[in-house]
Structure 1
Amino acid sequence: MSLRSDSRRQVSGWLVMSAYGLVSAVLQLVWLTYAPITTAAAGHYGVSEGAIGWLANVFPLLYVVLALPAGIVLDRWFRPTLGAGAALVAVGAGLRLFDDYVFVLAGHLVVAVAQPLVLNAISKLADGCLPDRQRPAGIAAAAAANLVGMLAALILGAAMGADGLRSLLLIDFGAALLAGAALWFGLRGQAPQEIDTPARVSAGALRALFTDRRTRSLGGLVFVGFGVFIALTTWLEPLLKPAGVTNAGTLLAVLVLSGIVGSAVLPAPVVHRGLERPALGATLLITASGCAALAIAPGMLVATVVVIVVGFPLLAALPIVLDTTERVVGAAGGSTGAAFIYLLGNAGGLFIAVAVEQLLGRPGWAFSLLALVVVGGFASLRSLGKGTDWIRAASPIRNPPPHRQFW
């Protein structure tokens, strides 16, 4: 009887994680809707290409501002906050159905506000819904769903074009409604003790995220890795164009697809075997080598090999870091810990992408800069201890429920 009960809870937990993954994927669909059709969309709405570009840019900008507040609210009122985030995704997608740029921008702003409420929940949701042994796989699956959403946005936008824009927006809205409803019902079906660990996040806890050696090092790794990924997705086309590569969009799709496979197969065995540090080190080495190869010998063949080889570990590193961060800060502060990681990842994306933009006329220098940035990530890796003792040491959770303080 007990075994059947445990089995039912596991199935229920995975259904919730699946619904959460769908909401996360829809977020990426909305974010990148116009990326493959920027010029045509500008003509459709009668605005500049820059105005269409801002539909995507508001997401990382608002995330940097709202990441930590959203994490704090999630740790205090997890279930209603995550439900509100899913609802806002549907509302924002619905606003875009009004065929006017003002409503489209408003819809993107609403979804951009929802983004940290949804994404920051990944670690805590997996901890509350799944057994410890399955938590890394749950985090990896949800992180992979983000990449699936990105890939779907690039493929659908390119396939349907501006002529199919109305249908594309309807698909996004319908997917947002279905995913939000599935997550809402899933959250209602979870027992309170399995998903709710209310925590009041102290000011000292927020300071410690930036000063504790472990979280600071993990944040530094994400700043570098996620930042380089965003820079590549933003500028790969103009950087490779002088070398005669004209189908950078296909290369980006291959990069994301390779990352999806990596996220599906790498994180769980790495975490179970305590190989976080060597796996992250190998990721830095492979990424730096790939950027160096593009600096030395840009071309279609080299670029294809690089995006496959680099994408596989680079995008899989994020769920590894998220799982490790949750174990460092403890379950009660899991959402704030995830917020810290995503905050530094988006900040790295903005900073590194702007730096690379200054070198668009010199692609070799731009790829060399990316390689040097990745090499700099070894400084963060070096400050982490060997083995897994550094993860378990000095757990910041001190006080018991119902209202935990962490750090």
Structure 2
Amino acid sequence: MSRWSAIVGYSLVGAATQLVWLNFAGVTTVAAAHYAVSETAIGWLAQVFPLLYVVLSIPCGLALDRWFRPALLAGAALTAIGAVIRLGGDHFGWLLAGQLICAVAQPLVLNAVTGITGRYLAVKDRATGIAVGTASIFAGMLLAFLLSAVFPDSLQTMLVVTAAFCVLALVVLAAALRTPGPHAAVVPAVPRAVFAALRTAWSDPLVRRLCVLAVFPFGVFVALSTFAQPLLEPAGVTSTTASIILLLNVVAGVLGSALLPIYAARHHAESPYLVTALALTVVSCLLLAFLPSTATALITITLIGLVLLPALPIVLELVERRTPDAEGTAAGLIWLSGNLGGLLAATAVGLLVNHPRYAFLLLAALPLAAIPGAQTLRHHLTPATR
């Protein structure tokens, strides 16, 4: 028996974390002028999220494996509290305080995507549940872009709408998690069992390989999302057009994440899919390097969103099947690797922002380097994992 209400509640909270994270991505200049700070300071409202994720990912994964429902609800509550704190006053300090609280909450929520499906869905529905949960995370990014477009000159209204969404998400999730999931395993009461989850997850060669693999698609997506506009500007792509292209990138990613991982799981095609997605990303980045234009950017960046973002739910679904007793910690390792890859790739591309061709060549090299690892995944996929 599957309890889909839990997935609905989780999806809302997952979207809320991304909404808070990227609230100011589309209104950086307006927000800097409004709060009398630099654009760099506004950028830090988003940067604290991946930075704290790298630090907190493993502890939060351990907490989820040991105390799943309380830990997930704490993440949802902290997200709502942080969003409400940002309404405390028309001053940058309130924003930063709220963002820091929400950044602490994010790994408690995102690391739970495999745990929520493993506890509340039957085995046959778990690939779909992970796809839906992950797609909702990308949908939260889309919602952030839409709100900044609807309220470009009314930041307070945008913050109020965001806070209301976060509180609603908390209420729905709390109602759905009133009782343990029908498939929840009994967790030993020995404290050392918490740390055993880390040993269990990291000792698995498939999990280690997936951690390495996650660095590359995360890196490309984060770097491209951060620097697409300045990299495309020399080719005549306006900032407005670049924003539309990035929006289509996320829309395509939401659709792809909701559909393609389910197909890959049902046909045992995880490894071939990842190889194909990485190869298409390489070709897309090479086209951007040597034939940059509005049309090229529109086609290739949308394609990257469609095929590359679904790699995350595919990897997470493999982890859930492989480590059912430590899925929170294993998911934390995947998210940690991905966020670290995003930070490193974005930093490297940022150094090349005035040399677009070399930046896009670097972005092509990342998925190219990951293809051999994706090809060998099939050797680690046991019948139980499939």
Q: Helix, strand or coil: the match of 1:36?
A: coil
Contact map agreement 1:213 1:384 (CA 8 A) in 2:
no
Contact map agreement 2:206 2:380 (CA 8 A) in 1:
no
2:20 alignment counterpart: 30
1:337 alignment counterpart: 330
Which structure 2 residues correspond to residues 109-258 of structure 1 after superposition, within 5 A? 109-161=100-152, 163-188=153-178, 190-191=179-180, 193-195=182-184, 197-198=186-187, 201=193, 203=195, 206=198, 209-210=201-202, 212-246=204-238, 247-258=241-252
The Cα offsets for residues 53-82 of structure 1, whole Å up to 9 and x where unpaired, read as 100000000000000000001100001111
Q: Give the CA RMSD over aligned residues.
A: 1.7
Q: Does 1:296 align with 2:285?
A: no
Q: Which moved more, 1:285-294 or 1:190-199?
A: 190-199
Quick one: percent identity of the two aligned structures?
A: 43
Give the distance between the partners of 1:310 and 1:42, measured in 2 at CA. Answer: 31
Q: Pick the aligned partner of 1:88 from 52, 73, 78.
A: 78
Q: How many residues align?
A: 380
Contact map agreement 1:384 1:390 (CA 8 A) in 2:
no
Give the distance between the partners of 2:132 and 2:62, measured in 1 at CA. Answer: 24
2:53 alignment counterpart: 63
Q: Structure 1 residues 225 and 102 mapped into 2: Cα distance closer, same or farther (>3 Å)?
A: same
Give the distance between the partners of 2:260 and 2:195, measured in 1 at CA. Answer: 35
1:400 alignment counterpart: none
Q: Does 1:274 align with 2:268?
A: yes
Deviation at 1:327, TM superposition (A): 1.4
Give the distance between the partners of 2:98 and 2:325, measured in 1 at CA. Answer: 32
Give the distance between the partners of 2:30 and 2:254, measured in 1 at CA. Answer: 29
**TM-score normalised by the chain length of structure 2:** 0.94
Give the distance between the partners of 1:380 and 1:130, measured in 2 at CA. Answer: 30
Which blocks of at least 5 consecutive residues in structure 1 are unaligned? Answer: 1-5, 394-407
Give the distance between the partners of 2:291 and 2:118, measured in 1 at CA. Answer: 45
Contact map agreement 1:17 1:138 (CA 8 A) in 2:
yes
**TM-score normalised by the chain length of structure 1:** 0.90
Give the distance between the partners of 2:327 and 2:222, measured in 1 at CA. Answer: 24
Q: Does 1:385 align with 2:378?
A: yes
Q: Structure 1 residues 374 and 354 mapped into 2: Cα distance closer, same or farther (>3 Å)?
A: same
Q: Does 1:370 align with 2:360?
A: no
